[in-house]
Structures are given as C-alpha cells and as structure tokens.
Structure 1
C-alpha cells in the first residue's frame, strides 16, 4: 500500500537489520550502512532502519530514552486505568439508582 506508514515487519527482520548495521565494516558510516542494508532486506526506507537502530540502542541502555518494556508497561497501565474508570462509572450509576430507590416512598 503506498503511503502506509504502519507497515509491520517481523521482529526477526528488525533484529537482523539492526545487527547488520552494528556489524558493518569499520570504514562504512552508519548511515551508509543503513542505505545499503534497507533495500537488501526489503525495508521501505533507510529512515525506518535508523529508527530501529536507535530504539535498539535505547533498549540496550546505550542511549537515553524510553525502553520497549517501559512503553509496554505504560500502555498496560493506561488500559488498566481506562477499565477502572469504566467500572467506577458503572458503580456510580448503580449507587445513584439504588439511592433513589431507597429515597422513594414505599407504600
């Protein structure tokens, strides 16, 4: 699909591409390696590979940033907060309903 920026690549391909950049010849710049490796592996653009390399550096602790594990934990916590808010909303509605029932005269 042209222009589809959410194309997914297998984790094995990402790992292999990042490893190939890391194992490049000493005389080759990182960007030159990315420009060479991306088309070899069918990666859309060298920029995609550059992002993978930077992310791998963060995960390895070689670069500052949010690791994959931290990102996943934040996503999990956001889902949990959303679920708890929904449950809280339901409980508030039920509480209001039953409070109204108790206040209603029975007779």
Structure 2
C-alpha cells in the first residue's frame, strides 16, 4: 500500500518509531518525530558540544600553565 508516495514498510517503521517516542525512547540515530523527542535530541547535542568545549578549554589551560612556568 502506498500513502503519499511512501511504501507500507516506511509507514510501519515511522509508526513504530512514533509509538516508541511516545513511550519516552529517543531514537539512537536519525531525526525524532515528536517535538518532545526533537527537543531532547537538540539538548543532547548542545550538552555534547559544551562538554567538548570544556575539554578543549581544560587542555588549553594546561598548555598555558606549562608555558607560563617555563617563562618564569
């Protein structure tokens, strides 16, 4: 059965994902269907970036600290 150009297996997959999201499961890969899960994905991405930035800043601070000790 084709609905708006989508095959039945795609519709079945979307339905399964949608019901899982309603149950609170965030998709491991791909874009979430529900606005709540999209917000969760966005916040997870922002958290990941903030953690990555913090690690970079820690490493840069350590390098500057080493350089300052050598100059003195």
The answer on 1:43 being equivalent to 2:7 is yes
Could you tell me which residue of structure 2 aligns to residue 84 of structure 1?
Answer: 50
> Does residue 65 of the first structure (1) align with residue 65 of the second (2)?
no
After TM superposition, the score normalised by the length of structure 1 is: 0.43
Structure 2 residue runs of 5 or longer lacking an equivalent are 25-32
Q: How many equivalent residue pairs?
A: 62
Larger radius of gyration: 1
Correspondences of 1:1-107 after superposition (within 5 Å): 39-41=1-3, 42-45=6-9, 48=12, 51=15, 55=18, 65-66=23-24, 68-106=34-72
For structure 1, which runs of at least 5 residues remain unmatched after alignment?
Answer: 1-38, 59-63
Displacement of 1:84 in angstroms is: 0.4
Runs of 4+ off more than 6 Å: none
RMSD of aligned Cα (Å): 3.3
Q: Give the 3-state SS of the residue equivalent to 1:95 in structure 2.
A: helix
Give the TM-score taking structure 2 as reference length. Answer: 0.60
